[in-house]
Amino acid sequence: MSILAFPSRTPRSQWRNSRLFAQANNGSATIETLPSWFSFFTRFIVEVEAPVGTSVVLGSRLIPKALFESAAGRARLVAHLVKQTGELGFPYIPVGTPIAFNYIPGTTSVTPAWRTALWHLTGGSTWSYNSTLAEIRAALNATHSFVNEELAALAPDSGSYMNEGDVYESNHEYTYWGPNYERLLAIKKEIVLTLRIFWIAGDAVRW
């Protein structure tokens, strides 16, 4: 079923064309005039609305090209993927690293691990809208434990993409920023002092 909403001043010829099109394709058309947009919304939209989206927590790791260059590295990667699939479901592996870009060191703030990574390997846990607090915590713990114990061990000197990283990352300074962290922290402090910015961030490091 398709719903078309025409403004009140739409020529009747356009309504008629819509009906003819539906009939020509073995369909039918019903034309109604409603007093307001809200009437249309409650009549046709609210009745068929459905929840969308998923409650999910993610964790990820940038997997360096070097891991693919030896038989032992590839074997470790395959073993990891088998385990991750069993514990967290199928991994998400987008092809999005800038490994082929002619990068000049020091020209961007993101972790240099991006420049040597062939994969951005992601996994996660989900829960339902009616999950209990214990079930939600179990999902969070499952992803956090797997990222910190398995993914980090697979590529210990690499890092992670912050937007899809573990929200409870144990070593977020290095994992997200690598050797750039101290320089970025110094820049932030300088800006804060210059602009006299003050804010409070709970449980943050050196804010």
Quick: pLDDT tens for 27-59. Answer: 887 777 788 888 888 888 887 777 677 789 999
Of residues 192 and 88, the one with the higher pLDDT is 88
Region at 106 (left for phi over 0; alpha for psi -120 to 50; beta for the rest)? left
Which position has the token pair 């402090």? 189
Share of residues in the chain with pLDDT > 70 (%): 86
Of residues 197 and 89, the one with the higher pLDDT is 89
Which position has the token pair 């939209």? 45
- What mean pLDDT value characterizes the chain? 84
- Binned at pLDDT 50, 70 and 90, residue 197 comes out as low
Convert the pLDDT of each residue in 156-169 to its tens digit: 999 999 889 998 99
Q: Look at residue 143 and tell me whether its pLDDT is greater than 90.
A: yes
* Residue 98: C-alpha distances to residues 65, 120, 142, 174 (Å): 12, 11, 30, 19
- Binned at pLDDT 50, 70 and 90, residue 69 comes out as very high
Bridge partners (DSSP) listed for residue 119: 63
Distance from C-alpha of 96 to C-alpha of 92, rounded to nearest angstrom = 12
Model pTM score: 0.69
Rounded to the nearest 5°, which phi and psi values hold at 86? Answer: -70, -35
- Binned at pLDDT 50, 70 and 90, residue 65 comes out as very high
Give the number of C-alpha atoms closer than 13 A to the C-alpha of residue 191, restricted to the C-beta side. Answer: 8
